[in-house]
């Protein structure tokens, strides 16, 4: 693994146990550290390559008692080839335009974000977020962060993705899309677009966050092969059976 010299000591903390949002009956704990100061980019880079994720100005990784279900995963962009279903998704969405924009929250984005949460994650913490919470999620970043907006020919926003740029890839922080367009599989299309963007930028990896075998909401990630997982021996290619997911 690459090493990134840091300018000062960093402190890591463990959160209190809370109910797991993915697997009923289990508890969730995280190891967290703050990303700030002049070495925020270097720390974010090092931690991303070690399986951490970013939320606002915090980097975190699960440290759950008696559970190791959350597995950090990333796509090996150079070896990826879309399957028949992905090619169909590309055709269905061929009229969409994608624009990379600054990480600035808008009322239009928030309306789409709220519809998505109400449809897909009703009862979850994010479904309770107001506009200022959403703005904090988008704008409170100490590293290079941007949004991709996907629009129909009439200009209507139908999908968006918040992403970070790191030295060896892009990291998909959070995406949301129009829930009424289920046929378009917009979640999968967003990932396909990010893969193409990685190739254009000459970046070898697309970081997708955590994959949980027991969570059907995350099953779509297994369709993007080759997929690497981070474990005690570093990043290794996963051998997974794929199944349809919610994207």
Same domain for 31 and 116? no
Instruction: Encode pLDDT of 170-210 as tens digits.
Output: 999 999 999 999 999 999 999 999 999 999 999 999 999 99
For residue 4, tell me if it sits in a domain.
Answer: no
For residues 140 and 232, state if they share a domain: yes
Judgement on whether residues 211 and 95 belong to the same structural domain of the protein: yes
212 three-state secondary structure: coil
Number of domains in the chain: 2
Same domain, yes or no: 37 and 137: no
Q: What is the bridge-based pairing of β-strands 27-28 and 205-211?
A: unpaired
Q: Does 48 share its domain with 141?
A: no
Interval 79-135: pLDDT, tens: 999 999 999 999 999 999 999 999 999 999 999 999 999 988 766 677 789 999 999
Instruction: Look at residue 244 and tell me whether its pLDDT is greater than 90.
Output: no
Summarize pLDDT for 35-65 with one digit per residue, the tens.
988 889 999 999 999 999 999 999 999 999 8
Question: Does residue 83 share a domain with residue 185?
Answer: yes
Q: Are 24 and 100 contained in the same domain?
A: no
User: Does 1 score more than 50 pLDDT?
Assistant: no
pLDDT band at 8 (very low <50, low <70, confident <90, very high): low
CATH number for 170: 3.40.630.30
Residue 48 and residue 60 in one domain: yes
Q: Which of 28, 51, 68 corresponds to the end of one domain?
A: 68
Q: Is there a single domain that holds both residue 97 and residue 76? A: yes
In this model, does residue 246 exceed pLDDT 50? Answer: no
* 34, 39, 44, 152, 214 from 57: Cα distances, Å: 6, 13, 10, 32, 29
Q: How much is the pLDDT for 107?
A: 98
Residue 223 has pLDDT above 70, yes or no: yes
- List Cβ neighbours of 32 (8 Å cut-off, separation of 6 or more): 12, 13, 14, 15, 58, 59, 60
The pLDDT of residue 247 is above 70: no
The per-residue pLDDT for 222 is 92
Let me know if residue 213 belongs to a domain: yes
Structural domain boundaries, residue 105: 72-237
**Two tokens at 38?**
């002049």
Calpha distance 116→150 (Å, rounded): 15
Model pTM score: 0.91
Sheet order of strands, 97-102 included: 97-102, 145-151, 157-166, 169-177, 205-211, 71-76, 227-231, 234-237
Please say if the pLDDT value at position 243 is more than 70.
Answer: no
pLDDT at 7: 55
Assign 23 a pLDDT band (cuts: 50, 70, 90).
confident
Residue 206 and residue 191 in contact, taking contact as beta carbons nearer than 8 Å = yes
Distance CA 40, CA 37 (A): 6
209: left (phi over 0), alpha (psi -120 to 50) or beta: left
Report long-range pairs for 227-233 (Cβ below 8 Å, ≥24 apart): 227/73, 227/74, 227/75, 227/76, 228/73, 228/74, 228/75, 228/76, 229/71, 229/72, 229/73, 230/50, 230/51, 230/71, 230/72, 230/73, 230/74, 231/71
Does 165 lie in the same domain as 62?
Answer: no
């Amino acid at each position: 693994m690459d090493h990134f010299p840091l300018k000062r000591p960093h402190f890591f903390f463990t959160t209190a146990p809370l109910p797991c949002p993915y697997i009923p009956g289990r508890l969730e704990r995280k190891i967290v550290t703050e990303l700030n100061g002049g070495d925020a980019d270097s720390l974010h880079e090092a931690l991303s390559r070690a399986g951490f994720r970013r939320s606002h100005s915090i980097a975190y990784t699960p440290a759950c008692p008696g559970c190791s279900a959350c597995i950090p995963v990333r796509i090996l962009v150079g070896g990826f080839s879309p399957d028949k279903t992905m090619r169909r998704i590309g055709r269905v969405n061929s009229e969409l335009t994608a624009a990379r924009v600054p990480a600035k929250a808008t009322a239009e984005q928030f309306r789409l974000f709220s519809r998505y949460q109400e449809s897909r994650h009703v009862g979850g913490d994010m479904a309770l977020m107001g506009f200022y919470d959403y703005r904090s999620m988008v704008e409170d970043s100490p590293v290079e962060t941007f949004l991709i907006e996907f629009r129909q020919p009439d200009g209507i926003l139908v999908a968006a993705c918040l992403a970070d740029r790191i030295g060896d890839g892009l990291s998909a922080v959070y995406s949301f899309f129009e829930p009424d367009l289920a046929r378009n599989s917009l979640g999968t299309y967003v990932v396909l677009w990010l893969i193409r963007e990685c190739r254009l930028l000459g970046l070898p990896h697309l970081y997708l966050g955590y994959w949980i075998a027991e969570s059907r909401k995350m099953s779509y990630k297994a369709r993007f092969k080759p997929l690497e997982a981070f474990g005690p021996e570093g990043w290794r290619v996963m051998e997974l059976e794929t199944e349809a997911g919610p994207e």
